[in-house]
Chain A
Amino acid sequence: MTFRQFASSNVLRNKRTYAAYFLCSAFSVMIFFICTLFIYHPELRQQIFYPVVVQAMAGAALIMYVFSFFFVLYSVGAFMNTRKREFGILLMHGMTDRQLGNMLFLENMIIGVSAIATGIVSGIITGKLFLMAGSAFLGISPLPFRLPAGALGLTAASYAVLFIIISLCIPWLLRSKKLIDLVQSGQPLRPEPGASRGLSVLAVVLLLLGYGLAATSTASTLTYRMVPVTLITIAGTYLFYTQLGVKLVGRIARSRPFAWKQTNLISLAGLHYRLRDHAQLFSIVTVVLAISFCSVGVFVSIPVLSKQFEEDFPAAVGYMSKEGNSLDAAHLSEISQELGSRSIPFEALTLPIKYVQAQPSRADSQPGHLLTLMSYSDYKQAVLMSGQPLIDEPPAREEALVLVASQNDRTYLRGRKLTSHVLTSGLTLQETRYTKHVAVPEYLLPDLEDEHISGLVVHDEVFAELSHTLQTDLYTGFYVEDYRQTEALVPELAPGGSVRYTEGLPYALTVSGTLYSMRDSLYSILLFAALLVGTVFFIAAGSFLYFRLYANLDADQRHYATLSRLGITDSEFSRIVTGQLGLLFFVPIGLAIVHSIFAFIALQSYFYLSIAAEMGVVLVSFLMMQVVYFFFIRSQYLRKLRKSMV
């Protein structure tokens, strides 16, 4: 037997242990490959949203790659632990460290190369399916299957590099292990799990703190709270398993009236050790699952923004002509002609927007800030034209309504204070409340210092009497029955559906139909990418559990063989196993769901509309998948254990 044969038979004979690791690696290779299929797809390049697709898919591929790196590293480390004794025996019989390193390198490369091959082949087989799903998400006609060399090369090369790097790390993982430790590691020396009371309390405190901070965050605090809250929760999760869990189970196992009854003690004592031995794994699985839920949840909830699209873009086509724009008449007639040629009936409205200097207070000597003003009757007309019922009362002379830029910006306005502005004319405008509606489509007004409001609505007389006006723009809104009909209108004026005010052109323009379909495909492709990544994470978490279970299979078989000789019935046996597996499968997912619920509460602060329904769907579907996976593994595992029983 050559050395290479030795290494390959080591892998083949341990296939049960390596199965989940191999499948999960192959699966991430496959998803990575699918992402590159989208990136390199020749027909997709011609679509207007190609850059978006590239970004989403490249992001997904990158996340997958980084994740694969850690996944492979962790799995390899775990395998080495289960095989320590074997290594000890080999070293004792005179294998050099170098040979051992070579053997492990070869073994890992065998798995790696076959995972890459399997991943790419299954990617090629299922590629058409994913392309169809992707095109359905994007709302385009199904993409034909192409096999670009770039996709093949990128996938094979990146994963080959990954496996080589990790295989090279193996000797480093094994270093400083004394021979005696390796040889003796198989022996069952199992001290009772211990946990400290202080750290258990800390676990509760950290989790509550994390949850509390998440639940109370607002749109403005969310950004800087996100990282600390995540870290606090991860630390809390780790302590929850290593300390609190061990402590609680140990205490229950010691309470005789409950524990000394039928099979309770066997389950509890088993759980006690399992928690101690696998606490790290439980925390990783919990965190990975929570990340998976959250990433899918975020991208499922973003399309909620589309629900308020019509409110944020009240006019189907909005045209803002900056002062001094000589082309406005030509542009406006072009828009009306195109609308006419599509035989879309429309109504138009033109109103002036004025810009003035203002200061926060009378005493201030600073140069002051720019204010965008529109009159109340213009506001009223714009709202009524868009078919929304007017709710806002007119402001008094010295009052102003704050014009919101988009409905979702209200989440930021919760933390904003109403202020007053002093105009150059000496008039003081006191902000009294926020408008209920968006009058001018988003993007058509310049960003003010206070970036979430687009301007003030003032009394008609104040508007008419304004002096020292810096600039007067003319806004024209075209209102139609169904804004979706305006898709791809005037493409040369507004590529991509919008020209923002800040882009420096003499005009700003929004075409709702184009914008809507752009956004829709952006959200869809993001969701599609998140689903791909989320699924990989979910499967990886499952593979960690599977691996743990099978690494302990021999010990468990001995355990249950003893019990069965002592006379344990089949139903008692399957009750113990189901209980233990159930905890293994559902405690991490349960905690991950709780984590995600709090993450979603935090996320909700970002949204004006409720995202509860979307989140519920995400969590329930993940839970269902876990249930199916649980029953599958349970039946396999029971069958395996039964073989060793009387």
Chain B
Amino acid sequence: MPILDVRHLSKIYEGKVAHQALHNIRFTVEQGEFVGIMGPSGSGKTTLLNLIATMDQPTAGEVMINGRNPHLLSRNEAALFRRRELGFVFQHFNLLDTLTVEENIVLPLMLESAPLNMMEDKVKHIAAQLGIESILPKRTYEISGGQMQLAAIARALIQEPSLILADEPTGNLDSKASREVMSTLSASSREASATILMVTHDPVAASYCDRVLFIKDGQLYNELYCGDHRQAFFQRIIDMLALLGGKSHDLSTIRF
């Protein structure tokens, strides 16, 4: 059974002029898969992610996560569902700046009233895994953007959620930090067999995925599989983006 099963998902924004943001999207994500979603601005990537994250209600179709449809849950149950089944990595990190890195990471466990020693063990384990032990006692303003994103990934992983949703995780990072964050994400996907769905603009970040879905005008346009060669995969992503209507000079700076 797939972890994520998106069935005929449509979203129409009502307003003076109704706008169809998503049109009959369907795809599945298997356990341990790392899937990227790309597309030009306004193609509906973020809408799709928000629907899967239960932050928004679809107009038609349904989303099944681990066999459950979160859109049928009450507000309260949806909150608990997000807490237990989903992990989030955001473009702006969204760490709480009143807490230390360590406290930020254990936050989901704390909300669940996990036993103290279990929390301490888990945070130690996950920090070792991501190589961020040294920043655990620090505050968010003392660490770099890349470190913040690693901390956010640790927070997303600590509950061992069914699905991790990442929204432009490298959007605010330089290329070196981006690479570090992406290799951490793909390593977690491989080693901890975490299932990750990532929205991104960045072809380099996308090249770390096992598979990339392309969306255009709210519809699935194409998908690419990584295969064995990441460099070749990257080239195919670039080509696909060019085909999607991005202007080639948009990408010139990152073609290396």
Contacts and interface: CB of A to CB of B under 8 A. Distances in A.
Interface of A: 188-192, 256-257, 260-263, 265-266, 269-270, 272-273, 559, 562-572, 646
A565 B53 contact: yes
B82 A566 contact: yes
- For A266, A568, A569, A570, the residue with the greatest tally of chain B CB atoms inside 10 Å of its CB is A569
Interface in B64-117: 75-76, 79-84, 86, 88, 90, 94-99, 103, 106-108, 110-111, 113, 116
- For A189, A563, A571, A646, the residue with the greatest tally of chain B CB atoms inside 10 Å of its CB is A646
A269 B55 contact: no
A576 to B, nearest CB: 11
B139 interface: yes
B139 A190 contact: yes
19 contacts: A188-B141, A190-B139, A260-B103, A260-B106, A262-B110, A262-B111, A263-B111, A265-B103, A266-B98, A272-B98, A559-B96, A564-B79, A565-B82, A566-B88, A567-B111, A568-B79, A569-B80, A570-B75, A646-B79
Interface string B11-28: 000000000000000000
Contacts of A570: 75-76, 79
A568 B139 CA distance: 22
Contact of B116 (A257, A269, A566): A257
B206 interface: no
Interface string B33-66: 0000000000000000000011100000000000
Contacts of A572: 111
B119 interface: yes
Given A188-B141, A190-B141, A568 B98 contact: no
B110 A265 contact: yes
A571 B111 CA distance: 12
A567 B108 contact: yes
Contacts of A273: 98
B165 to A, nearest CB: 10
A572 B113 CA distance: 12
Given A192-B139, A566-B82, A260 B116 contact: yes
Contact of A190 (B54, B84, B97, B119): B97
Given A191-B141, A565-B94, A269 B99 contact: yes
Given A266-B107, A566-B111, A646-B54, 20 more contacts: A260-B106, A260-B110, A260-B119, A263-B111, A265-B99, A269-B99, A270-B98, A272-B98, A562-B94, A562-B96, A563-B96, A564-B79, A565-B82, A565-B88, A565-B94, A567-B79, A567-B81, A567-B84, A567-B111, A570-B76
B32 to A, nearest CB: 23
Nearest to A189: B141
A257 B110 CA distance: 11
Contact of B97 (A188, A256, A266): A188
A191 B97 CA distance: 9
Contacts of B96: 266, 269, 559, 562-563
B68 to A, nearest CB: 14
- Interface pairs A-B: 7 shortest CB-CB: A567-B83, A567-B82, A269-B98, A562-B94, A569-B79, A646-B55, A567-B79
Contacts of A192: 139
Nearest to A257: B116
Contacts of A266: 96, 98-99, 107
A565 B165 CA distance: 11
A272 to B, nearest CB: 7
